[in-house]
Structure formats: C-alpha cells, structure tokens
Amino acid sequence: MATLLLVRHGLTEMTGPVLAGWTPGVHLDERGRKQVAELAARLAPVPLDAIVSSPLDRCQETAEAILTGRDDLGVQTDDRLGEVKYGEWTGRPLEELAKEDLWKVVQAHPSAARFPGGESLAEAQHRAVSAIREWNDRLGPEATYVVCSHGDIIKAIVADAVGLHLDQFQRIQADPAALTVIRYTELRPFLVRLNDVGGRVDDLLAKSGRDSDAAVGGGA
C-alpha cells in the first residue's frame, strides 16, 4: 500500500488575493516559512522513501523544509505536479477574476473550464493523477512519500482518489501547509486524512495491515 503524503506549499505574499499560477519567483513569506517548519517537525518521525515537488519555488522551499535531517533523500521535481496553467489569468487579482463569466464555470462546472492561453482543469487533473500513479509504481507498494504541490492540483488528486467527479472538486479544501494522506491499494485508494494542519502522525509510522483492501461494512 503506497502511502502518499500530499502537502500544499506554505503561504506567500500572493496567496489569497492573487492567482499566482506559474508566476516565477514566488517564494514563501515569513508566515509560510513558519508553517512549513512546523509541518516538517511534525513529519520528522515519519520514514520517507521520497520527496517529490512541483518545480515552482514555493513548493521547492516547502519540500526542502521537509527534507531537513533526511540526509539519504533529495527533492525530486516533477513538472506534472506543478500548478494549473492558468494562462492569461496568471497574476490577476481574484476579486477581478470573480467578475469573469469563466469564473462561474470554474466554480460550478470545472470539468468544462479551460483557461485562456492555458490548460483545462481536466487536463491538469489528468497529468497530476498520472504522475501519482507513476510514482506509486516506481516507489513500490510499501512506500511512504511526500508530494508538495498546489491547492487545485491536490483537490483534483483527492477527487480522483475518492471517486468524485471533477465538477465536485471545489467542495474539497487544501489550505497552505496542510497535510492530506491517501493510501493506494490494489483495489482502491483510501483517504486517510484531509487538510490536516495540526494532527498527530502516529498512524503514519507503521502500516500494520489494518487498512487492507477490504474495508467491509460500517460499525464503530
């Protein structure tokens, strides 16, 4: 069972008011550096087989924080885990974008949304999920690894894991420096935790088989 630890990058000066996208040179601010340092400290006891990151600076810096003290690892970069290519929307204020007709499509029918001069959300989901499946195969069924990526990409990966249509992915939340965990088994993925910004990681220290392929029935 490959265990994927999805991490969104920490805060930047552009996080929130502006759609940063692939804008170069967007770094973690003081708040973001504090966030990722705290996350790295929480994850320090968890053995990792790999740390994979979006190529964008804010994710690379987040991944480097998690790498601290892990001399046997390095940060591996995968462009497929980079932010959605927002095209002409890149660098524009969200308040301004909310007035665009396409904004309503992005919110209510994202599977039909294509950003002018960029890619569609469906294309972004496909490349990101393909990357995760490939890393699962490359690292093996017992691997535990981190992927540092972006809000919409993480939401798209989670939607795929839980069998949720892309049109519903806006119902998922991925905050800066939050941890989301997915275990991939032969039959199906299991969403272990979502958008965790402060929980314990004891359950990630050992995989005892309690999350077998067959999670049958309800009960306590």
* Tens of pLDDT, residues 17-44: 999 999 999 999 999 999 999 999 999 9
The position carrying tokens 């290519």 is: 85
pLDDT band, residue 148 (cuts 50/70/90): very high
Average pLDDT over residues 111-124: 98
Centroid of chain to Cα 94: 21
In Å, how far are 54, 72, 81, 97, 100 from 150, measured between CA atoms?
A: 8, 25, 8, 19, 23
Specify the pLDDT at position 200. Answer: 83
* SS (HEC) of 78-101: CHHHCCCCCHHHCCCEHHHHCCCH
Stated as kind and residue range, the H or E segment containing 108 is helix 101-108
**What percent of the chain lies above the pLDDT cut of 70?**
93
- The reported pLDDT for the residue numbered 211 is 46
pLDDT over 50 (residue 217)? no
Q: Does position 203 have pLDDT exceeding 90, yes or no?
A: no
Q: Which residue matches tokens 């994202």?
A: 110
Answer whether residue 173 shows pLDDT above 50.
yes
Its sign, for the CA torsion 110, 113, 118, 124, is positive
- Confidence at residue 207, expressed as pLDDT on a 0 to 100 scale: 54
Indicate if the pLDDT at residue 139 is higher than 70.
Answer: yes
What Å distances lie between residue 62 and 12, 149, 194, 206, CA to CA?
11, 9, 18, 24
pLDDT digits (tens, 9 = 90+) for 51-101: 999 999 999 999 999 999 999 999 999 999 999 999 999 999 999 999 999
Spatial separation of the C-alpha atoms in residues 51 and 185, rounded to whole Å: 20
Residue, of 1 and 189, whose pLDDT is higher: 189
3-state secondary structure (DSSP) of residue 6:
strand
Higher pLDDT, 169 or 219: 169
Q: What value, to the nearest 5°, has the Cα angle with vertex 189 and ends 188 and 190?
A: 120
Going by pLDDT thresholds of 50, 70 and 90, the confidence category of residue 219 is very low
What DSSP character marks residue 171? Answer: G
The answer to whether 197 and 38 are in contact (CB under 8 A) is no
Judging by beta carbons within 10 Å of its beta carbon (0-12, 13-18, 19+), is residue 202 exposed, middle or buried?
exposed
Inter-axis angle of helices 57-67 and 30-43, to 10 degrees? 40
Q: What is the pLDDT of residue 1?
A: 81
Q: Is the pLDDT of residue 128 over 70?
A: yes
